[in-house]
Structure 1
Amino acid sequence: MGSSMFFKRFLIGVFSISIIAGPVFAQPDSAPKEKKPNIVYFLVDNTGWGSFGVYGGTVPTPNIDKLASQGIRFNNYNVEAQCTPSRSAIMTGRHPVRSGTTSVPWPGQGKAGMAPWEYTIAKLLSDSGYATALYGKWHLGNTQGRMPNDQGFDEWWGTPDTWDQAGYTQWPLFKESGVPVPMLWEGKKGQKSKPVMPLDLKIRPVIDEKYIIPKTVEYIKKNAAENKPFFVYVGYSEMHEPPIANPNFAGKSPQRGGLFADLVAEMDYRVGQVMQAVKDAGVEDNTIFIFSSDNAGGGASPQIGGATNGPFRGNFFNTPFEGSMRVPAMIRWPGHVPSGMVTEEMFAAVDWMPTIAGMVGSSNLVPKDRPIDGVDASNFMLGKSKTTGRDLYPFFGIDGELMSIKWKIYKTIFRYAESPESIGKPYVKPQIPMVYDLSSDPHEDNNLMYTDLTLGWVYAPSFKWIEGYEASIKKYPNIKVGEDFKGYANK
């Protein structure tokens, strides 16, 4: 088939993923089984690939480095375009284009976050007998019915939205805007969530120290003492705007000065506190500890030191280059997950839900009445397979349209954002999709289609994937941003 035929098929224009479909997901698991492992998911915000020592960072991060050395460290872990899309992918195993979570709706466009119909990893684990809690940032719904306690968490404390709201009330005309004062909330399953205190610049630099981490530590201690399997999801606040150093760390980072170094130093310390809590509770050997970032660094917070995305081109807004989607991730489970392993295997935010389900023996609860885009990489995590099962990763823009597809070592870019003022410009659509060889050109400097059209064959896997996605959305139309989706009829 000639390259012109590929281009015609590309220009037709609807994009996304192949799926798994079938009957409604199974009832809660009731078969006899051994004790389930506890799960700690520590999610940091807008922290790029090169921020930590094990990823080549220059700020000392002994605790994160230790965590990486005790399990698997991913060098090719991929996320979605922004905070809400990435968190939605982690929770549901679905690309946000399917869930209506590619962006946060503007006023009048409907409700923010996920429809209650979505089946989250918290719901799955709750149905598996776990105690579940979230402390920190949610950003997947800010109305009753869409809070964490409505989506599978027994309890939660934090912000339903995002940390930049901490800076709202500092502006003189804020009161005249009519916008409510941003609040921190809490809630329990079966009850309505309620606001508990203002989210402002006073609490911003100490929120992790005084609230998020202590609540996490206490939750681990309590459930371990009760011998109940638990899942705690930590929505850590940094590096999200507004970045303000904790007074105990400001100006005190060793070997390197500045705000960025201070924030990384505190982040590492807080990870160490949670690691120690697991150890002190006597459950270290039976606890899966996951650490990852939701998005790349830079772009959103250049004032803290610029992008820290390792050897890759791109940042938070400069998509879909590797620096915008490839972030740190690691997993530890002593005696089960191989230790000291560094892998180039492809893995993605959408993969956590089916993978965790597989690791705890609850794959039967993964929904079968909707497209699930994640792969179950539990065998890889447990050292039973040499591959994750993923060799292709699609990346969507906040408009819900495809931007790139990464297949093995090749990256095909259909649209991209211009740097350095990416946020102020529309996406660019090249005349011919650009192709980069990530094995020899990780910075994506040399578009192979500019010099050698004999590479036209590399489009084939991408178009095959696109065809599968187009077929899937005919059967299971994507949920619109803000839609109060109730489910697929007769599915």
Structure 2
Amino acid sequence: MTVRPPNIVLILADNLGWGELGCYGGGVLRGAPTPRIDALSEEGLTCLNFNVESDCVPTRSALMTGRHPIRTGAMQSVPAGLPQGLIPWEITIGQLLQGAGYATACFGKWHLGDREGRLPKDRGFDEWYGIPRTSNEAMFTAAPGFDPTIVPMPYVMEGVKGAPARNLAVYDLEQRRLIDGELTRRTIDFMERQSAAARPFFAYVPLTQLHFPTLPHPDFAGRTGAGDFADAMAEMDHRVGEILDAIDRLGLREDTLVLFGSDNGPEFRRPWRGTAGPWRGTYHTAMEGGLRVPFILRWPGRIAPRRTTDVLHITDLYPTLARVAGTSPPADRAIDGIDQLDFFLGERAKSARDGFPYYIKTELRAVKWRDWKMHLMWEVEPNEGPIKLETPYLFNLVRDPKEETDANMDEGWVRGPIRRLIEAFQDSLKTHPPIPPGAPDDFVPRAKAGP
């Protein structure tokens, strides 16, 4: 008898800092209780040391491919009309699960290609609704001097596998407020249809909150009394709750792996300034507040409720979810993710990962290893201008979460394993040369032969 694989629902918030949710020390302190996500945390594995990439595009490329963005060339946000996103040679987690018999859908922000051939419906998802790029484009049409004959008009779009995508509505400030409500409705409809068909499904739900402009749905405007940012956080918590309620209503609770997290550290653009709690910094930096984000997994009867401080990385989801679905990552390329399923299930005592290199675009900024972080470049706030360090800074993140006291004198031995990690990763880049940003659709990377 074949055991049916579980459904997978992956909800990814946008620019949600480590310190925003109640279960991570925020919630009411940020003006917005988050009871639904807090309850999810109580029911699942709450990761206290889950790490991502520097901002929206690189994290999403790492999630979709299990590869650091220095490999894929999908390293930064690019304006509409310019080459961007993942080349077709890359195999997304959507494609892996689609090949394993899953119904797949993406509802929300994509940001990995904005033209035919690179949209979600071409990259492993049977259906898609959302925006191809990012939320700040909702401000374009209200900006003085905006000219749609020069800059493409931003749209909310939809599409299905095998057919051209279509524009639904101009993505303006009104649509920015409405979009998360609609993508949640579509997610629930998708789950209902697949449940009725008794087919396992993968719902990837990249929410648009709390990315600037951080504007709540009209139903949530004024809800908290603490301003738009808190109202938007209350809306986000509610949307997660709606999806969880639908899973329960459909009788799928025990058969569904739910994952909830963020793509990077907190929003830093005023007046929509977020927080990383005890950690310093925001996205677009190598500070801990930019790397470390909330992440929760719930799989009743399989993943025991607990909290972990073990080092995990978003690339790890690629091989882990592939194994959950009964398939495997491709063997013809470098995969940076490590299968963490045994750790998640409690069959392994510790994470299978000790650390990882951290690039911003093509520049190696830092390396994280166990309780330490070594900075090779130093930039505390975005756009301050990175300083190349002659002697890298070393911080013990347990004793020094703000990264203020160099530990080189007392704990310099840590530089040894960190340097070996760097050397091994850079050797792999020589064996598997990175895909250049903006590579054409027909680009096929070639691994180099051994020495």
TM-score, scaled to structure 2: 0.95
CA distance in 1, matches of 2:351, 2:215: 38
Instruction: Give the match for residue 18 of structure 1.
Output: none
Q: In the TM superposition, what whole-angstrom CA distance separates every residue of 1:380-415 from its partner, at most 9, and x where no partner exists? A: 111211112011122111x32111111111110001
CA distance in 2, matches of 1:257, 1:114: 39
5 Å-filtered alignment, 1:9-408, equals 33-57=2-26, 58=29, 59-105=32-78, 111-175=83-147, 178-209=150-181, 211-253=182-224, 257-299=226-268, 301-304=269-272, 306-317=273-284, 319-339=285-305, 341-362=306-327, 365-397=328-360, 399-408=361-370
Matched to 1:155, the amino acid is E
- Indicate conservation of the 8 Å contact 2:287/2:380, yes or no: no
Instruction: Give the match for residue 13 of structure 1.
Output: none
Matched to 2:126, the amino acid is D
Instruction: Give the match for residue 437 of structure 2.
Output: 481
Shift in Å, 1:196: 1.9
2:374 aligned with 1:412: yes
CA distance in 2, matches of 1:441, 1:490: 42
Instruction: Give the match for residue 7 of structure 1.
Output: none
SS at match of 1:143: coil
Alignment RMSD? 1.7
Aligned pair partner of 1:456 in 385, 397, 412:
412
SS at match of 2:238: helix
Shift in Å, 1:298: 3.2
- Indicate conservation of the 8 Å contact 1:104/1:481, yes or no: no
2:422 aligned with 1:466: yes
Shift in Å, 1:107: 8.0
CA distance in 2, matches of 1:228, 1:405: 41
Shift in Å, 1:474: 1.7
Instruction: Give the match for residue 437 of structure 1.
Output: 396
- Indicate conservation of the 8 Å contact 2:431/2:448, yes or no: no
CA distance in 2, matches of 1:329, 1:296: 12
CA distance in 2, matches of 1:326, 1:176: 38
- Indicate conservation of the 8 Å contact 2:210/2:267, yes or no: no
Shift in Å, 1:418: 4.0
Shift in Å, 1:416: 2.2
- Quick one: percent identity of the two aligned structures? 40
Q: In the TM superposition, what whole-angstrom CA distance separates every residue of 1:356-375 from its partner, at most 9, and x where no partner exists? A: 1122322xx31111110011
SS at match of 2:195: helix
SS at match of 1:404: strand
CA distance in 2, matches of 1:145, 1:119: 13
- Bigger relative CO (Cα 8 Å, ≥ 6 apart): 1
Matched to 2:131, the amino acid is T
Deviates most, 229-238 or 178-187: 178-187
- Indicate conservation of the 8 Å contact 2:80/2:114, yes or no: no
Q: In the TM superposition, what whole-angstrom CA distance separates every residue of 1:337-377 from its partner, at most 9, and x where no partner exists? A: 112x0100111111111111122322xx3111111001100
CA distance in 1, matches of 2:271, 2:149: 27
Shift in Å, 1:172: 3.0
SS at match of 1:415: strand
- Indicate conservation of the 8 Å contact 2:374/2:393, yes or no: yes
CA distance in 1, matches of 2:448, 2:364: 28
Deviates most, 271-280 or 32-41: 32-41
CA distance in 1, matches of 2:147, 2:5: 49
Shift in Å, 1:245: 2.0
- Indicate conservation of the 8 Å contact 2:6/2:200, yes or no: yes
- Indicate conservation of the 8 Å contact 2:21/2:38, yes or no: yes
CA distance in 1, matches of 2:292, 2:270: 18
Shift in Å, 1:261: 1.6
SS at match of 2:378: coil
- The 3 A distance-change label for structure 1 pair 54 and 489 is closer
Shift in Å, 1:106: 6.2
- Indicate conservation of the 8 Å contact 1:111/1:143, yes or no: no
CA distance in 2, matches of 1:270, 1:176: 32
- Indicate conservation of the 8 Å contact 1:89/1:95, yes or no: yes
Shift in Å, 1:104: 3.2
Q: In the TM superposition, what whole-angstrom CA distance separates every residue of 1:39-86 from its partner, at most 9, and x where no partner exists? A: 000110001001111101123111101111111000001010110000
State the number of aligned residues: 443
- The 3 A distance-change label for structure 1 pair 268 and 165 is same
Deviates most, 169-178 or 130-139: 169-178
SS at match of 1:279: helix
Q: In the TM superposition, what whole-angstrom CA distance separates every residue of 1:7-36 from its partner, at most 9, and x where no partner exists? A: xxxxxxxxxxxxxxxxxxxxxxxxx73101
- The 3 A distance-change label for structure 1 pair 332 and 482 is same
SS at match of 1:202: helix
SS at match of 2:174: coil
CA distance in 2, matches of 1:469, 1:136: 33
CA distance in 1, matches of 2:348, 2:226: 43
TM-score, scaled to structure 1: 0.87
SS at match of 1:379: helix
Shift in Å, 1:177: 6.1
CA distance in 1, matches of 2:177, 2:148: 26
Shift in Å, 1:282: 1.1
SS at match of 1:386: coil
- The 3 A distance-change label for structure 1 pair 106 and 204 is closer
Instruction: Give the match for residue 5 of structure 1.
Output: none
